[in-house]
Structures are given as C-alpha cells and as structure tokens.
Amino acid sequence: MLKDARDRYDVIVIGGGLGGMTAANRLARSGHSVLLLEQHHKLGGLATWFRRPGGHVFDVSLHGFPVGMIKSCRRYWSRRIADSVVQLKNIRFDNPMFSLTTTFDREDFTKLLVERFEIPAETVKKFFDAARKMNFYDDQETTTGELFERFFPGREDVIRLLMEPITYANGSTLEDPALCYGIVFSNFMSKGVYTFKGGTDRLIGLMAEELKASGVDVCTQANVEKIHVAGGRIEGVTVAGRKIGARAVVSNANLKGTIFNLVGEDRFSADFIEAARAVRLNNSSTQVYMALRPGEMIDPSCGDLLFSSTAKTFRTELLLSRDVTSRTYSFYYPKTRPGSNRCLVVASTNANYHDWADLPDEEYQAGKRDLIETTLDAITKYVPDMREKLDYVEAATPKTFERYTMHLDGASCGTKFEGLAVSRGLYEQVAGLYHAGSVGIIMSGWLGAVNYGVIVANDVDAFLMESYQ
Ligand SMILES: Cc1cc2nc3c(=O)[nH]c(=O)nc-3n(C[C@H](O)[C@H](O)[C@H](O)COP(=O)(O)OP(=O)(O)OC[C@H]3O[C@@H](n4cnc5c(N)ncnc54)[C@H](O)[C@@H]3O)c2cc1C
C-alpha cells in the first residue's frame, strides 16, 4: 500500500477516523502535501460498518449526532455529503419512571418538562439558557450533578430524561464538569438528532473521493510504529518498517497511545507526562447487531432511537455493568438505505473494558452468547416476533473495538474530558506534533471529531506557514 508514497510530506496524518480524515482534507485543500496512514484496511475509524452473509450491512456508530454536522460537512467536505444528513424524528424513552416519544429538541423538551414533569416554565427556560451559555473557558468546577440539583432538586426522573442519552453518547457522568454536559446537550437540543442517509459506507466512500480530489495520498493497512522527534521537532514516522519524513504529524490515534507508544515519554517534560498519565480513558461499549430477513419489517412505532432501561433509577455504574439493565436500540428501516427492503437493529450498551478483556477465552465466548440471548429476550418487548424474523445476529465487545481501532481499552470516545488540555498542549512540547482524535466529551462523537479535525488543521496550517518564512 505504501509503494506510491513519497519519502517526505509537509504533514503525515496517523489514522483515518473522522478527525484524521477531516484534518487531512483541510490541510491538502490549503496546499500542503499530506499523507494519511490508516492501519485498518478501510477508512472511518469508529465511524464504520461491516457486511455479513445475506447482504446485510451493519452500521457501528451511526446512531445520531447534532444538526451541526450539516454545516461542518458543507464547509469542510462537500454539499453532497451535507445534503444526506437527515433528521431522526422519533426518539423514545422507556424505563420504570416514564415512557415517551420526543423529537429531542428544545421546544419538545420544554413542553414535556412543563406539561408532563410539571416543572415551572421559568425554571426550564433558565436551565436551557444556562446550558447553552456554557463554553470551554467557563467554570470547570461545577459538576453536572450539581447543575441538575440547582434547577431540579430531588427530581431523579428529570435527571434521567436529561442525562441518560448523553451518558450513552459519550460516557459522561454526573461527576464530570457541567460544561461538558451543557455543550453537548445544547448541541442536540438546538434541532434534534440527525443521521446519514445511505449509511456509513456511503459517507466514508464520499469522503475518500474528496480526499483523492484534494490530493491527499491515502494508505490503508499502514500501521505507524513510531513518531520520530529530533531536537524537539517532528522528523517523520516509521510505517511498516519504512521511514517517511514530515514537518508536522497529526495523530488521530488514541491520545495516550500517541504519547506513550508512538512518541515515547522521554520526548516530553516531566510535568506534561504527569498530566498525560492522569488522563482517564473513556469507557467502552458492547453491541448486538440484528438483521431481519429481507422483506420482514419492524413497526415504525418502535421509533428510530430507543433509550430503554429496566433499572428503577438512573445510575452511571448501572449503564456500564455486564448485568445489563439499559440498552439503546437503533432501528434501521429501509429508508436508511434507499432501495433496500431490510430492517436492522443495533443494541448498544456502555461497558468496562476489563469486565470483558480479563475473561478466559471460554468465558468470553459464553459472555458474548449470553449478551446476544439476553438482548434478543429484551427486544421482544418492542419487536415481539424478533426471533422468528431474525436472519443474522452477532455481538461486539470492548475487545472488538480495541482490535479494529487500536484504541487503548477499546475506548469509545478516546479519553475523559481532561484529555483535551493534554491534546492541545502537545505542540508546545514537540514542534510540529498535533493530536486530532476523540478527547472526552466535547471533541468526540461524529460532529466533535470532524470539528476537532478542522481546529487542529488550522493550527498545523499556521505552524507550516510560519516555518516556511
Ligand atoms: C459503539 C459506538 C457507538 C457510537 N455511536 C455514536 C453516535 O451515534 N454518534 C456519534 O456522534 N458518535 C458515536 N460514537 C463515537 C464516534 O464514533 C467517535 O467519537 C468518532 O468516530 C471518533 O473519531 P476520531 O476521529 O476520534 O477517530 P477514531 O474513529 O477513533 O479513529 C482513529 C483511527 O486511527 C487509526 N489508528 C490508530 N492507531 C494507528 C496507527 N498506529 N497507525 C495507523 N492508524 C492508526 C485507527 O485504526 C482508526 O481508524 C460511537 C462510538 C462507539 C464505539
């Protein structure tokens, strides 16, 4: 795959996730020579899909993202990509506290909170305004739990409505800084939840075409083994035993993997390494992928996205437990892939890496089978004849995510929030070294990854322009 690669580039991007691809595209469009190296045989990173016998195509992380994706795709990719971003209108909650359907935007949530949860309209308005005003430079001491306590004291049901989807989306907890919650929640509330019509394979295919048109050299199955630094500056990388020079490197790989495995801690100051060590990895996930026989339909009343739980109250640790009580179902109807006559369902849970990775092989396989069977039991509440309609089923665990993306501990969203400061501090340690990959709550998810790719590309562009002078 590397045979056509040159010996030297302005920038090498390590990793073809949404952040890496967006950074590469933007830098090439600015006139820099760019090489994108991806260890897997296809681009996309966690924004991925896979095919299975019978013609089934499963999306792994296409469950929903905020409306901002339209603008970001139009500006930094193409109108064609942006035009395929469409709204999911039926978001459902079903738990022992409440069952409801919503469009998951400010207007509908206000109505629900006032009419159904009987919160005064003025309190709801103040809460939305407070969440929307938060930005990265705000007070980082207040936690999400404290924010809820201020506006909705003692209302576990309200907290569940407001928090459960965000915890599913990015693993954030009531103990995390409130601004992480506020920014992501407000992004969704501005206009609801969106998806990509045609599936992840179509999106990544269109992005690959754009990368080519922008002049990015793309190599897949290209595992970067080392980032070289000399005299405090980037020299290049070693990939598949070959050294390729560069003035700048953007790593889209896991932040901690970049620092400790690809660069090596001796290239950083002791303080920086201490801060990097303290960064916590995000949790991982499990998924069960279910395909119905061609032509078998699911009743659209199931909704597009369903947050279901049998737990009496909302607790973050319950969402991570192997004893699953909460699942998010994504229902994919034929409209997702125009022209198809198929329905698929993906059931996701948050998960702890070590609950799976530490199991002996036999127990691990049994755990996967149990995950499939309990999910098939649970989904009969919504699709009663699921087992009869089922054509194919398969499960993924934290080990699966680790294997395909090389994310340490199979982390779904890279690191926790504190990773952002370390990611942003890299270039102060090594001239020309940047990171554009998931770091916690804001800079992760499809929209966060794309936007972070743009922010970092702008930094790299400024660095390169300065070094030309
Ligand atoms: C189960 C699940 C469901 C999700 N659902 C949603 C959702 O509904 N909505 C949403 O917005 N987000 C969702 N996410 C999160 C979202 O998919 C990610 O945050 C986002 O795609 C991450 O993009 P990224 O740019 O950080 O890179 P990643 O996708 O993490 O990609 C990093 C890339 O780097 C490559 N790489 C790593 N090391 C090397 C190396 N040494 N050499 C070469 N290449 C390397 C990897 O192979 C990978 O392709 C979900 C995640 C998971 C796991």
Q: Whose CA is nearest to atom 16 of ligand 1?
A: 445
Q: Are 53 and 24 found together in one domain?
A: no
- Side-chain-facing half-sphere of 185: CA atoms under 13 Å: 29
User: What is the number of other CB atoms lying within 10 angstroms of the CB of residue 205?
Assistant: 14
264: in domain: yes
23: in domain: yes
Element (H, E) at 236: strand 233-239
Pick the last residue of a domain from 147, 162, 188.
188
94: in domain: no
* Ligand 1 mean position, distance from CA 13 (Å): 15
At 78 the three-state DSSP class reads: coil
Domain containing 420 — which CATH number?
3.50.50.60
Q: Are 293 and 400 found together in one domain?
A: yes
Domain containing 347 — which CATH number?
3.90.660
Mutate to test the pocket of ligand 1, among 220, 250, 251, 252 (most ligand atoms within 8 A of CB): 252
Q: At what angle do helices 156-170 and 178-191 cross, to 10 degrees?
A: 90
Q: Are 253 and 138 found together in one domain?
A: no
Inter-CA distances, 101 with 18, 108, 112, Å: 30, 10, 10
* Ligand 1 mean position, distance from CA 82 (Å): 20
Atom of ligand 1 nearest to the CA of 63: 8
Q: Are 274 and 417 found together in one domain?
A: yes
If one counts the domains in the chain, the total is 3
Q: Are 298 and 390 found together in one domain?
A: yes
- What pLDDT is stored for residue 11 in this prediction? 98
Pairing of strands 85-88, 326-332: unpaired
Q: Positive or negative CA dihedral for 307, 311, 317, 323?
A: negative
140: in domain: yes
Q: Are 233 and 154 found together in one domain?
A: no
Q: Are 292 and 383 found together in one domain?
A: yes
Q: Using H for helix, E for strand and C for coil, what is the string for 271-305?
A: HHHHHHHHCCECCEEEEEEEEECCCCCCCHHHCCE
Contacts (Cβ under 8 Å, ≥6 apart) of 161: 93, 98, 109, 112, 113, 117
Q: Are 74 and 125 found together in one domain?
A: no
Q: Whose CA is nearest to atom 36 of ligand 1?
A: 15
258: in domain: yes
Q: Are 301 and 397 found together in one domain?
A: yes
Pick the last residue of a domain from 141, 160, 188.
188
Q: What is the mean pLDDT of each run of 10 residues along the chain (469 residues)?
A: 92 98 98 98 97 95 96 98 97 97 97 98 96 77 92 96 89 87 92 97 98 98 98 97 97 96 98 97 95 96 95 81 88 93 96 95 97 97 96 97 92 90 97 94 88 98 89
Inter-CA distances, 346 with 49, 215, 283, Å: 12, 36, 19
92: in domain: no
Pairing of strands 49-52, 233-239: unpaired
Q: Are 292 and 397 found together in one domain?
A: yes
In angstroms, the CA 43 to CA 24 distance is: 12
Residue recorded with tokens 């992004």: 187
Q: Are 396 and 318 found together in one domain?
A: yes
Ligand 1: residues within 6 Å at CB?
14-20, 37-40, 45-47, 60-61, 63-65, 223-224, 252-253, 285, 287, 348, 401, 405-407, 412-414, 437-438, 444-447, 449
93: in domain: no
Closest to 328 measured CA to CA, from 345, 308, 313: 308
Pick the last residue of a domain from 353, 374, 405.
405
* Ligand 1 mean position, distance from CA 410 (Å): 10
**Interior angle at CA 316, CA 312 and CA 318, nearest 5:** 55
At 86 the three-state DSSP class reads: strand
In angstroms, the CA 282 to CA 439 distance is: 9
Q: Please state the pTM of the whole predicted model.
A: 0.96
**b (16+ CB within 10 A) / e for 414-442:** bbbbbbbebbbbbbebbebbbbbbbbbbb
In angstroms, the CA 88 to CA 305 distance is: 8
- Side-chain-facing half-sphere of 143: CA atoms under 13 Å: 8
In angstroms, the CA 106 to CA 191 distance is: 7
Q: Are 299 and 371 found together in one domain?
A: yes
Give the domain extent around 342. 49-87+194-199+281-405
- What pLDDT is stored for residue 136 in this prediction? 66
1: in domain: no
- What pLDDT is stored for residue 77 in this prediction? 98
- What pLDDT is stored for residue 135 in this prediction? 75
Atom of ligand 1 nearest to the CA of 44: 49
In angstroms, the CA 352 to CA 361 distance is: 17
* Ligand 1 mean position, distance from CA 447 (Å): 12
